[in-house]
Amino acid sequence: MSFFITGTDTGVGKTLVSCALLHALAAQDKRVVGFKPVAAGCDDDDHNDDAKQLRAAGNVLASYGQVNPYCFAHPLAPHLAARNSGVRIEFSRILTSYHELASQSDEVIVEGAGGFLVPLNEKLNSADLVRELGLPVILVVGMRLGCLNHALLTMRVIADYELECAGWVANVLDAEMPALQQNIDALRERITAPLLGVIPYQIRPDAKAAAGYLDLDLLGASTSASSVSEMTGQDD
């Protein structure tokens, strides 16, 4: 089983959790590889740091181009970064790279760009890509002020697209966040997908250390996100 990692926003720890999952799965003797379909913001060698971390965390030999088929220089929304580069993001190219990686591995950890509805071209967004890939979603919730609304809105969209949420991860971004445990409890009451782990605040994020906070056994207890109306207590 492979997974698509999305987040409540940009900068909430998708790469940290993706790499932690890769380390944890590799420790179970799985052949695993990371995949960053679209990245915006490159270094001097025209590579993206998140994609490089994913490539390093896996144990399947893959070229950078396989791991990150679309990489754009400027850190902008993907469709804008692509437009500035004179490129259109095509799902067919992403799917080809994904299937190449899947044929070489037991599990592929796919990290999205930005939030779940970020546009990828003039018509399609990240959620459309997940539907094309046919993957269950793992939601990374950046634990900071505003996370409850962001998390529940994202869960609502996952349900609207009739996708499966395999679980969620609470990644603590604010070491001094008021009522941290109460916020986690509020989400557990409203999200029926399992909480896979709580990653404590890290001054220097360490994916190998973060892997120790994830319970992969809970991935077998994933639930359909179509029950999100029950999670939020709202009627359709």
Q: Which residues are catalytic?
A: 36
15 touches 113 (CB < 8 A): no
Distance CA 86, CA 215 (A): 42
107 touches 118 (CB < 8 A): no
Q: Give the count of alpha carbons within 13 A of 3, CB side only.
A: 25
